[in-house]
Amino acid sequence: MTKRLYVFDTTLRDGEQSPGVSLNIHEKLQIARQLAKLGVDIIEAGFPIASPGDFRGVQAVAREVRGVTVAALARASFQDIDRAWEAIQDAEQPRIHTFIATSDIHLKHKLRKSREEVLEATAAAVARAKQYTSDVEFSAEDAYRSDIDFLCQVLGVAIKAGATVLNVPDTVGYATPDEFGAFIRKVCANTPGIENTIVSVHCHNDLGLAVANSLAAVANGARQVEGTINGIGERAGNAALEEVIMTLHTHRERFQLETRIVTEEIYRSSKLISMLTGMPVQFNKAVVGKNAFLHESGIHQDGMLKERTTYEIMNPAMIGITDTNLVLGKHSGRHAFRERLTELGYGLTAEELDKAFVRFKELADTKKQIGNEDLEAIVEEQIRQIPVTYELDYLHIFSGTTVKPTAVIGLLIDGEFLQEAACGNGPVDAIFKALEKATNTRYDLVSYVIDAVTGGTDALANVTLKVSDPHQKVVTGRGMSTDVLEASARAYINVLNKIRFDEKPRKQDLST
């Protein structure tokens, strides 16, 4: 008999805690809407008490995203729980997720509490959360390194106080699959009342075992898996949900568990999150990596031509990768352009289609053939953008082995034209300095990465850069063009627009 497995996505909370990742409200909403489209059961939208910005992000997701449970994280304190409820109270299906550490090492060195104090805090926190919503999840932080008898006692207290979901995390990624599976089995067998709750697991990837540990837990009674798309998160990250989902699908006869995931949305979810976080997906990443369905070996190619299943256990179409890669060019019309985007799964409004088509024509003038990856890049760059303050009008570069690199920038600032020039150690440095002069800003560049969207000398260049803003928050920008220098300018302008966009809510809050 097939049973239900719940998918808890924490990309917006634990995933955003990845070093160098900081999402604004607009970006959180884009990701949340895509996660709802993917079919996850729960979106953990953030940690409201952490900052005013995080609170606003959680609140926006709760108010605007439907068809999914929206959870907010809170420590086992009334202040945290009250703030969490304030953020998610408008959600269609709100959940408060409260936690406290249970391992002796955390009790001694972090909490400096006794076991009795932890039991009291657990009961009080869950009861407080239960006053606000019937859906309360309790997590025992560092559960795997906890004394199992004490852990079961804490979970029993949480159940009596009204917890409906019990999360047993491997917070530091220490477990191995056989040990973690046995651990979950013992917890289920020795916690009174646990049969009336959903047992969840949250595994970190410090030893590269997060997915394996999650699956071992599922095989031993867990019915909710927590993780992130692309496996992003603190340190080495979390369990990669796309890997968990496709393993369950590929081995469905063994696990006999079903989810509500729309697998065809996996690839688009991965691409969107990679773009907005500025964290590229490694080429050999399972399921969503660029090489996941490529075959270079002659023996493998021969087998694939004869029968796909000789070397592929998954059909790329299942995760949303289309086999059709017919190219478009500058003579292609709006109808063909729209049809191809529809095939790729993009449902655009008339206004969005107009913007994307203009960018397509601009690109087609410099790149003879435009394939699916180019089209995806166009949509991601043009449609998923925040309102702009700064727009690139033109860019002139003077550079060479005997010439001081100089950039001349024509910029539209709220529709008004401004020109500025600057010299630098190289053309990219000169571009950034010219933009700083034009906008009267100065930010520290944290990272600068160039990637080719497709092959060939006329490949669409994707520049991703990160800067540190005045509030010490890292902001990610992205720009694309067949010209690497133009792509660099667009990426920096994207950062400037994001910072300006983030400043506007802050100013509004101060006035209320």
**Can you give the pLDDT at residue 380?**
73
User: Going by DSSP bridges, is the β-strand pair 461-468/444-452 parallel, antiparallel, or unpaired?
Assistant: antiparallel
SS3 state at 140? strand
The whole-number average pLDDT for the span 75-95 is: 98
Strand partners, 478: 464
pLDDT digits (tens, 9 = 90+) for 360-395: 888 888 777 787 778 887 877 766 567 789 999 999
Instruction: Please check whether residues 346 and 400 belong to one and the same domain.
Output: no
Record the tokens describing residue 209, joined without a space.
Answer: 């075992």
- Got the DSSP string for 295-320? --SHHHHHHHHH-GGGT-SS-GGGGT
SS3 state at 200? strand
Instruction: Please check whether residues 409 and 474 belong to one and the same domain.
Output: yes
**Can you give the pLDDT at residue 330?**
78
Residue 286 lies in a domain: no
Residue 430 lies in a domain: yes
Instruction: Please check whether residues 112 and 216 belong to one and the same domain.
Output: yes
pLDDT over 50 at 297, yes or no: no
510: confidence class by pLDDT, cuts 50, 70, 90: very low
Q: Which long-range contacts (CB under 8 A, 24 or more apart) does 318-323 make?
A: 318/246, 318/249, 318/263, 318/264, 319/242, 319/246, 319/263, 319/264, 319/266, 319/267, 319/287, 319/288, 320/263, 320/264, 320/265, 320/266, 320/267, 320/268, 320/345, 321/267, 321/293, 322/372
Record the tokens describing residue 360, joined without a space.
Answer: 């397509």
**CA angle (97 as vertex; 118, 46 as ends), nearest 5:** 125
SS3 state at 398? strand
13: confidence class by pLDDT, cuts 50, 70, 90: very high
Instruction: Please check whether residues 314 and 339 belong to one and the same domain.
Output: no
Record the tokens describing residue 199, joined without a space.
Answer: 């047992």
Record the tokens describing residue 330, joined without a space.
Answer: 């500058």
Residue 140 lies in a domain: yes
Task: For residue 477, give the CATH number of its domain.
Answer: 3.30.160.270
pLDDT over 50 at 295, yes or no: no
Domain that holds residue 308: 293-318
Alpha-carbon dihedral of residues 417, 422, 424, 426, nearest 10 degrees?
Answer: 50
Strand partners, 197: none
Instruction: Please check whether residues 128 and 147 belong to one and the same domain.
Output: yes
Query: Nearest to residue 225, comparing CAs of 252, 244, 204, 250?
Result: 244
What span, in angstroms and rounded, lies between the C-alpha atoms of 52 and 38?
28
Instruction: Please check whether residues 349 and 328 belong to one and the same domain.
Output: yes
pLDDT over 70 at 296, yes or no: no
Residue 12 lies in a domain: yes
Distances (CA, A) of 428 to 452, 468, 495: 17, 18, 15
What span, in angstroms and rounded, lies between the C-alpha atoms of 271 and 381?
12
325 versus 273: which is more confidently predicted?
273
Mean pLDDT of the chain: 89
pLDDT over 50 at 326, yes or no: yes
pLDDT over 80 at 11, yes or no: yes
Task: Confirm if 185 and 177 have CB atoms less than 8 A apart.
Answer: no
Instruction: Please check whether residues 127 and 178 belong to one and the same domain.
Output: yes
**Can you give the pLDDT at residue 215?**
98
Query: Nearest to residue 167, comparing CAs of 137, 212, 142, 211?
Result: 137
pLDDT over 60 at 505, yes or no: no
335 versus 246: which is more confidently predicted?
246
* Polymer length in residues for the chain: 512
Instruction: Please check whether residues 179 and 55 belong to one and the same domain.
Output: yes
pLDDT exceeding 90 applies to what percent of the chain?
Answer: 67
**Can you give the pLDDT at residue 320?**
86
Task: For residue 52, give the CATH number of its domain.
Answer: 3.20.20.70
Record the tokens describing residue 394, joined without a space.
Answer: 């033109």
What span, in angstroms and rounded, lies between the C-alpha atoms of 211 and 470?
38
SS3 state at 93? strand
User: Going by DSSP bridges, is the β-strand pair 198-203/257-258 parallel, antiparallel, or unpaired?
Assistant: unpaired
pLDDT digits (tens, 9 = 90+) for 441-478: 999 999 999 988 877 777 888 899 999 877 778 888 88
Give the helix ranges, DSSP H, for 251-392: 252-255, 266-277, 298-306, 334-343, 350-364, 372-382
The whole-number average pLDDT for the span 207-213 is: 98
The whole-number average pLDDT for the span 486-508 is: 80
How many other C-beta atoms can be found within 10 angstroms of the C-beta atom of residue 189? 11
SS3 state at 66? coil
What span, in angstroms and rounded, lies between the C-alpha atoms of 435 and 422?
9
308: confidence class by pLDDT, cuts 50, 70, 90: low
Query: Nearest to residue 188, comparing CAs of 179, 180, 199, 178?
Result: 199
Residue 449 lies in a domain: yes
300: confidence class by pLDDT, cuts 50, 70, 90: very low
Instruction: Please check whether residues 299 and 272 belong to one and the same domain.
Output: no
Task: Confirm if 167 and 198 have CB atoms less than 8 A apart.
Answer: no
Burial of 359 (0-12, 13-18, 19+ CB in 10 A): middle
Instruction: With residue 86 as reference, give the H or E element that holds it.
Output: helix 78-88
Task: Confirm if 200 and 225 have CB atoms less than 8 A apart.
Answer: yes
The strands making up 444-452's β-sheet, listed across from edge to edge, are: 444-452, 461-468, 474-481
Residue 173 lies in a domain: yes
Residue 306 lies in a domain: yes
Residue 287 lies in a domain: no
Gyration radius (Cα) of the chain, Å = 25
What span, in angstroms and rounded, lies between the C-alpha atoms of 275 and 271?
6
Instruction: Please check whether residues 265 and 300 belong to one and the same domain.
Output: no
pLDDT digits (tens, 9 = 90+) for 253-269: 999 999 999 999 999 99
**Can you give the pLDDT at residue 154?**
98
How many other C-beta atoms can be found within 10 angstroms of the C-beta atom of residue 169? 22
Instruction: Please check whether residues 135 and 218 belong to one and the same domain.
Output: yes
Instruction: Please check whether residues 303 and 403 belong to one and the same domain.
Output: no
Counted domains in the chain = 4
What span, in angstroms and rounded, lies between the C-alpha atoms of 435 and 419?
9
pLDDT over 60 at 64, yes or no: yes
Location of structure tokens 């101060």: 510
